[in-house]
Amino acid sequence: MAVFTGAGVAIVTPFKANGEVNYEKFGELVEDQIAGGTDAVIVCGTTGESSTLTHEEHLEVIRYCIEKVAGRIPVVAGTGSNCTETAVYLSREAEKYGADALLLVTPYYNKATQKGLYKHYKTIADAVKIPCIIYNVPSRTGCNVAPETVAALCKDVENIVGVKEASGNIAQIAKLMSLSDGKVDLYSGNDDQILPLLALGGKGVISVTSNVAPRQTHDICAKFFAGDVAGSCAEQLRMIPLCNALFSEVNPIPVKKALNLMGKEVGSLRSPLTDMEEANAAKLEAAMKEYGIL
């Protein structure tokens, strides 16, 4: 059984003016997501600025999220690292806290071989018992997990169950699913490609857009699974201008701006990320108004 089916939010980490994690606001975001129909919370991923959280903050945010959700929907903890030993440590701690699954980003900067990637993921998965989802996002990591490697890991390692695919390469993803023998739970990592990946056998999406449009993102998946492909397609296409605006600068710069425009008060970003350029912010605000969320 898949960790979740539908739309999981790659939730932001809100900060106070002094740069500390704002747990009160984080709790409000979690409640908003659950009320909005989100099917899972993915905490401390790219959108959650995990790369600039200390290990202590990283684990505390995961622990807080699990306690706040309190079993109402699955919590998937981002515990990947470009250091295998660090990823094992974070993963074991998240498992202790009660995470339902782990999201493990491809090792960044190192540019491991496919053999190295296989060993990296197997080592982490062997250190825990909960399900693990590979996160392939070569535009950020400089390293692509080949379809053959993902398929082999999902077949060979019992608790490696799927992949969040953000390569944007539909041909690669189709090849993966053709090799998988039904062993790979596929999640879209690109909000403008939810429907195409569902059509290839996907289970859902791990979404940035869900931060600002949880119900609509959920509905793209729910309508597809209910057999309303035309309705799912219509919502996917309606969302495209908003998706484009949310990725007009590197994630999570625009989505944090969008949440602040909505009055969510999630604060700024940690360096080296900076606030959104005014011209792009104006386009984002216009797209949000056109979409009906502002």
Give the β-pairing of 6-10 and 40-43.
parallel
Query: Which among 25, 118, 121, 135 is annotated as catalytic?
Result: 135
Q: Is residue 136 a contact partner of residue 144, using CB atoms and an 8 Å limit?
A: yes
Q: Which token pair is 273?
A: 């990320």
Q: Tell whether the torsion through CA atoms of 11, 15, 20 and 22 is positive or negative.
A: negative
Q: Is 164 an annotated catalytic residue?
A: yes
Give the β-pairing of 160-165 and 185-188.
parallel
DSSP letters spanning 96-157: HHT-SEEEEEPPPSS---HHHHHHHHHHHHHT-SS-EEEEE-HHHHS----HHHHHHHHHHS
Q: Tell whether the torsion through CA atoms of 11, 16, 19 and 21 is positive or negative.
A: negative
- Taking residue 292's Cβ as centre, other Cβ atoms within 10 Å add up to 10
Q: Is the peptide bond before 14 cis (omega within 30 degrees of 0)?
A: no
Q: Is 135 an annotated catalytic residue?
A: yes
- Tell me how far apart the alpha carbons of residues 254 and 282 are, in angstroms, rounded to a whole number: 11
Query: Which among 164, 223, 256, 264 is annotated as catalytic?
Result: 164
- Tell me how far apart the alpha carbons of residues 263 and 282 are, in angstroms, rounded to a whole number: 16
Query: Which residues are catalytic, by number?
Result: 135, 164
